[in-house]
Structure 1
């Protein structure tokens, strides 16, 4: 398995960007003489070498954030490229900037509200209410594989190899930025070493592509982790003010949720989406959700694993836990009391809602009945304070159209091409499982070609819609191929697997092409896919709404004097419809629980408000969970197909299993210590 940075080409050059040393302003000049004197440096590209303005942007004289690439050094070796980049000292004309939520220059821009029912008036009649503000910090994705691009320009054709979850988007962006015909650009990214939402279209790609076209040689750029912090996306800092009330039976009668989040100038991370999934966790008929962006002079925030649901559900599930204590009601029973079979936003039927089943099974596995309800009431044999907490998770079940081709050869080979990107989530495993369940093929010679714009139109793989999009396409390809073989055999009995049958019939190969639409989509969506457009749909479909769910049960131990916190065990039960590949599905849940713990206790990006940069922009100082932080994780998958979602009955999983973990941790911490922590990550000083 080779990643983008592993590829080697004859005569390859190496590139390194020069990051802006100010947070906002204008470049007056970019002296390049010192860089060109470095042995091995071939060329230096500056904003003068790119069209102005370019859309999407390339190199510009206007600086919008610290770390923005302002020049590109191309050299014979990586070392020379780095030395050349360090030799460039641009001259700037800086201006005042705002870098954090409480900066004086931050501009507040309201976003669209989400309202249904009469939350304000109904809340006044609630028996018990909770009002509190919860905070989720700025966080960076930090997949292990760095962002890498190799561009090769031969015979008038530009081929880009990149660690991207959106190869079609890369193709379109490079074509637009450089003003070249899209048919002259191909993008390949068959294997990605982690993404979590960060590896979408990058500014560096067009720079490297332009360098390859100018030099006539392959060019490689691998950004350092410190540069990625400043150029790629991240989860924005967000504040969530919640007012929630319930009647004596524990039925939540109304909820008000106001969100404020970081945003960049012209940023695309919509604040109103904080209300998209969280509003549908329970049957709350009266909801008023407001949102606003605080515009800062930093690189753009973007979608990160769990996206808006992760911080929003942390806030909501923490507030609901607080409400359970106010009511004197068991936290699990309070959640069960608020089940629903319809989408409270629009009254549509939920395709399936197995959250109650997740909570019930989790209660059994965790041994929740042994919990004593009062805070500070449970102790371990070593004297540690013990807390048990619970929270629910939710994430959209979305899908995109797909075009797939299956070719079976008499020589024993098979090739399946489809829209989609493999980021470690197990997409290939799902495809293989479906193909082999219906076709007698040689597994050793089965090729799955994805994330390649030369083999099939590619959609962005994100939003937990990858498996839900390719699984029905693979199933359709199986059925179509079965029919094609039946017509070929015409009632004859031919021995052997499908390859041997083709050989016996003297057919070199048999090939079928299928297209698959998500529920409610028309052929226009397929055409949009072919043209490189965005054609995802969900969670709202004609006549129904679809989500995946999870329930998390967490045990924490807090040392009474030092307040050191440990998590010896977690039980997570997930609903993702049909489980096509049990091993990779369980792996997704394990990974998301680990990340949820990391989100709750460790991860936060530190911003220097004096200069607008990130202080802990490496894996030494950006603290993530390691083996010592993780105890036993018990994963359960309901495996209940959802026939309304698609023909296979599968729903998204990768993100829903993370949502709610941090709330369950915070709720367990309160049960252990009696201290309610509403700001993440939870640190020792919060418990002293």
Structure 2
């Protein structure tokens, strides 16, 4: 069980189980206890950062440098490398980035939701907040002043960038204008109140994908794709795409997934599933539409006189702009067939000629983000947090958090909100709870169970609001979708740290932020 990165990379025990099963000719299961899992699984690599920002009194940044150091194991040069995102966040003028690996006697790190962006953006947004304070400037206004027209490194345009709209909508919903900017000025009895904000960013990637779609004369649709449903709702959005493109109600759509005999799909990671699967389904559906239109307008077809018109497909009917229409079942009768089935292979711009062949071999090509020549493709968000810190005990609470996110076309608002909400809750855990403690004498993890490894529970999460900012971006992929599963996790911890500073005047750079750091 589990997903969101922890099962993404190949681990030694995975290979051992595969070899054993192959030699024995029967299934083999490796069972690890929760305590053992801490030593056999990957983890988010520890990072250290040095950020330098130069700005004029008008708040415009003139120079930016971000250096990172990352822990990895002796044999594996696993690298996070989040400077690709931080180096393109704002209008910096000149940019310097550098990442160094520090090899240690540790197991190899791995992916954990928003792997590169989370630790690197935490460092950047802390520095941005600190610079805004030094300039005597509102942190939101500081970011607005340094909003770029193009990314600062290659000067490529953004395919779309709605960050300022995110800040405006989130700030309004949060009540940022009521914030007293003076440190420690806001109180409620024994509780110090702090408010902070931070930017979220995640590269918009897409991968080759294949899908098979079948439409029958009675309007039933079957979608087949080898993607994995890990609880994010990819079955739902695939059904929605087919329903929309073929003009049938969604209850007429059946989706089959999670079987290696189906057309292959990329790994369910990197926030690419919705964009990749929906692009392949869209392509297959459009091929079906083309065949239906050709059959309807052919000689003897029910719309034979409408061959020069664009046909709409909706409600189980093909309709010409001139007003003539025909039921799908009548078109099938004219074509003398009972079903149309199309197999489609989607390969994004920049994919190699062998991309789909490699997909069949279990290898995924990721494209997008800052890799494309024509533009830089990112999803953005703005997060605002209120913290309350007891003036005597320094207990930290997060009563309110608001996030506004722009991620291209939102296929399903319910699943999108759920993803972003989960990411923000995880961000609160990163900020205040989660840490793996290592006994350096014996190279063993100390807090190896759910009693000692703290994660947020219901009592930690109060008022959490997600705002979906409308955004249209046809350049990212045919579906117009920007992945958002990992976006919500990126800015939360930095917004919490900013709020802690506003309440206490203490600038906490290490995570998690604990009571003892605030008592000194």
Q: CA deviation at 1:268?
A: 4.3
Distance 1:313 1:301 in 2: 19
Out of 107, 110, 119, the position equivalent to 1:299 is 107
Greater mean alpha carbon deviation, residues 404-413 or residues 515-524: 404-413
Task: Give the aligned partner of residue 206 of structure 2.
Answer: 399
Out of 190, 193, 197, the position equivalent to 1:386 is 193
Distance 1:612 1:216 in 2: 36
For the Cα contact (< 8 Å) 2:368–2:476, is it kept in 1?
A: no
Correspondences of 1:144-155 after superposition (within 5 Å): 145=1
Task: Give the aligned partner of residue 604 of structure 1.
Answer: 435
Distance 2:255 2:33 in 1: 31
- 5+ residue gaps, structure 1, are 1-144, 146-192
For the Cα contact (< 8 Å) 1:391–1:660, is it kept in 2?
A: yes
Post-superposition CA distance 1:486-523 (Å, at most 9, x none): 33444327996899669867644321011222233353
Out of 246, 256, 259, the position equivalent to 2:68 is 259
Size of the alignment, in residue pairs? Answer: 495
Q: CA deviation at 1:587?
A: 0.7
Out of 476, 480, 498, the position equivalent to 1:667 is 498
Q: Does 1:492 align with 2:278?
A: no
User: Structure 1's 477 and 315: CA in aligned 2 closer, same or farther, altered over 3 A?
Assistant: same
Q: CA deviation at 1:326?
A: 0.6
Q: Does 1:593 align with 2:444?
A: no
Out of 531, 537, 541, the position equivalent to 2:367 is 537
Distance 1:295 1:241 in 2: 19
SS at match of 1:339: coil
Aligned CA-pair RMSD: 2.4
Task: Give the aligned partner of residue 355 of structure 1.
Answer: 163
User: Structure 1's 298 and 615: CA in aligned 2 closer, same or farther, altered over 3 A?
Assistant: same
Out of 351, 360, 364, the position equivalent to 1:521 is 351
Post-superposition CA distance 1:458-508 (Å, at most 9, x none): 422322222221222222222111122233444327996899669867644
For the Cα contact (< 8 Å) 1:354–1:575, is it kept in 2?
A: yes
Distance 1:447 1:205 in 2: 33
Post-superposition CA distance 1:270-297 (Å, at most 9, x none): 25x2211111111112121122111112
Task: Give the aligned partner of residue 411 of structure 2.
Answer: 580
Task: Give the aligned partner of residue 564 of structure 1.
Answer: 395
Task: Give the aligned partner of residue 643 of structure 1.
Answer: 474
User: Structure 1's 518 and 225: CA in aligned 2 closer, same or farther, altered over 3 A?
Assistant: same
- 5+ residue gaps, structure 2, are 304-312, 318-326
Out of 333, 338, 345, the position equivalent to 2:146 is 338
Task: Give the aligned partner of residue 130 of structure 2.
Answer: 322
User: Structure 1's 362 and 611: CA in aligned 2 closer, same or farther, altered over 3 A?
Assistant: same
Q: Does 1:480 align with 2:287?
A: yes
SS at match of 2:30: strand
Distance 2:9 2:160 in 1: 31
SS at match of 1:280: coil
Q: CA deviation at 1:214?
A: 4.5
Distance 1:222 1:432 in 2: 35
Distance 2:36 2:475 in 1: 44
For the Cα contact (< 8 Å) 1:197–1:462, is it kept in 2?
A: no
Post-superposition CA distance 1:179-223 (Å, at most 9, x none): xxxxxxxxxxxxxx4333434334334433444444444433343
Distance 1:462 1:428 in 2: 15
Q: Does 1:615 align with 2:451?
A: no
Distance 2:257 2:35 in 1: 30
Give the TM-score normalised by the residue count of structure 2: 0.89
For the Cα contact (< 8 Å) 2:198–2:494, is it kept in 1?
A: yes
Out of 237, 251, 256, the position equivalent to 2:46 is 237
Distance 1:304 1:286 in 2: 31
For the Cα contact (< 8 Å) 2:206–2:275, is it kept in 1?
A: yes
Distance 1:230 1:459 in 2: 28
Indicate the structure whose relative CO is greater, using CA pairs within 8 Å and at least 6 residues apart.
2
For the Cα contact (< 8 Å) 1:427–1:466, is it kept in 2?
A: yes
For the Cα contact (< 8 Å) 2:212–2:225, is it kept in 1?
A: yes
For the Cα contact (< 8 Å) 2:213–2:221, is it kept in 1?
A: yes
SS at match of 1:219: coil
User: Structure 1's 619 and 488: CA in aligned 2 closer, same or farther, altered over 3 A?
Assistant: farther
Greater mean alpha carbon deviation, residues 585-594 or residues 395-404: 395-404
For the Cα contact (< 8 Å) 2:212–2:281, is it kept in 1?
A: no
Task: Give the aligned partner of residue 306 of structure 2.
Answer: none
For the Cα contact (< 8 Å) 2:9–2:111, is it kept in 1?
A: no
Give the TM-score normalised by the residue count of structure 1: 0.68
Q: Does 1:460 align with 2:270?
A: no
SS at match of 2:467: strand
For the Cα contact (< 8 Å) 1:592–1:658, is it kept in 2?
A: yes
Out of 669, 675, 680, the position equivalent to 2:511 is 680
SS at match of 1:429: helix
Correspondences of 1:98-137 after superposition (within 5 Å): none
For the Cα contact (< 8 Å) 2:8–2:269, is it kept in 1?
A: no
Q: CA deviation at 1:454?
A: 2.1
Task: Give the aligned partner of residue 14 of structure 1.
Answer: none
User: Structure 1's 336 and 419: CA in aligned 2 closer, same or farther, altered over 3 A?
Assistant: farther
